[in-house]
Amino acid sequence: MLLEVENLKISYGDIEAVSGVSFALEQGELVSIIGANGAGKTSILNALMGIVPVNEGRISFQGRQITRWPAFRRARAGMRMVPERARTFARLTVYENLMVGVYKLRNKVDLGRRLQWLYKMFPILEKRKNQPANTMSGGEQQQLAIARALISDPDLLLVDEVSMGLMPKLVDEVFDLLKRLNRQQGLTILLVEQNAVASLEISDRAYVLETGNLACQGSAAELSQDPRVREVYLGH
């Protein structure tokens, strides 16, 4: 297993946001955690990245216990996150935003190659590379946030509600891109989403998170057929 999470508990003062959640990802999988507002999705990703502390439970990555590791060590080990609402640095150019993501690159040659690859994957970023990030549309900034997370060639990409605020066509585009990264580049991706329809479409497996607990799990095909999932998350 690339990532193994056991009995994860996360609290903010008296509020328990995540109450003992276990899940795992194998190398090369694309897995979703689906859940409504406040279910605990962002808390889980932040705990994986080392941004919020874990109350109880264990996280292992690449076979190592990382539960108490600081964020920078997890990043160095190859974990990256695309945060909620795709925060970019507004006044930095697109290119400068990408450079912020550079961490643990072997040498300049690699960086040049990586940039070329990214520009091929995200043509709009090359066109806009010298513009401030805040002149980009929401969807373009979302692409920039993904590209920034990819520039250092991560082993695991954590993606927080990438569909939020995007029109349906752009949601499809971003999800297609994630699917391609997974299928063609072998990138392991953990997606957290309210958009169950779009995420089940591209995922191998999914977990359903309800107020800090996993309600069910299965292959994307199984969950799409599950009557309860259909009623609550797929709207039919």
Ligand X SMILES: Nc1ncnc2c1ncn2[C@@H]1O[C@H](COP(=O)(O)OP(=O)(O)OP(=O)(O)O)[C@@H](O)[C@H]1O
Report yes or no: 198 and 163 within 8 Å, Cβ to Cβ. yes
Minimum distance from residue 195 beta carbon to ligand X (Å): 10
Told to check if 35 binds ligand X by CB under 6 A, we report: yes
Using CB under 5 A as the binding criterion, the count of chain residues that bind Mg ion stands at 3
CA-CA distance, 110 to 122, in Å (whole number)? 18
Site membership for ligand X, residue 103 (CB under 6 A): no
Burial zone of 133 (CB within 10 Å; 0-12 exposed, 13-18 middle, 19+ buried) = buried
By CB under 6 A, residue 62 contacts ligand X: no
Among 30, 40, 42, 59, binds Mg ion (CB under 5 A): 42
User: Could you tell me how many residues of this chain bind ligand X (CB under 6 A)?
Assistant: 13
Q: Cα(130)–Cα(154) distance, rounded to whole angstroms?
A: 25
Displacement of CA 41 from its chain's centroid (Å):
10
Q: What is the CA angle 129-132-134, rounded to 5?
A: 120
Site membership for ligand X, residue 50 (CB under 6 A): no
- Told to check if 194 binds ligand X by CB under 6 A, we report yes
Q: CB 194 → ligand X: shortest distance, Å? A: 5
Distance CA 80, CA 75 (A): 6
Q: Does 41 bind ligand X (CB under 6 A)?
A: yes
Which listed option, ligand X, Mg ion, none, makes contact with residue 35 (CB within 5 to 8 Å by class)?
ligand X
Nearer to Mg ion, 2 or 159 (CB): 159
Q: What's the closest the beta carbon of residue 46 comes to ligand X, in angstroms?
A: 8
Residues in the chain: 236
Interacting partner of 109 out of Mg ion, ligand X, none (Cβ under 5 to 8 A depending on kind): none
Strand partners, 207: 33, 217
Question: Collapsing DSSP states into helix, strand and coil, what is residue 13?
Answer: coil
The residues binding ligand X (CB under 6 A) are: 12, 15, 17, 35, 37-43, 84, 194
The residues binding Mg ion (CB under 5 A) are: 41-42, 84
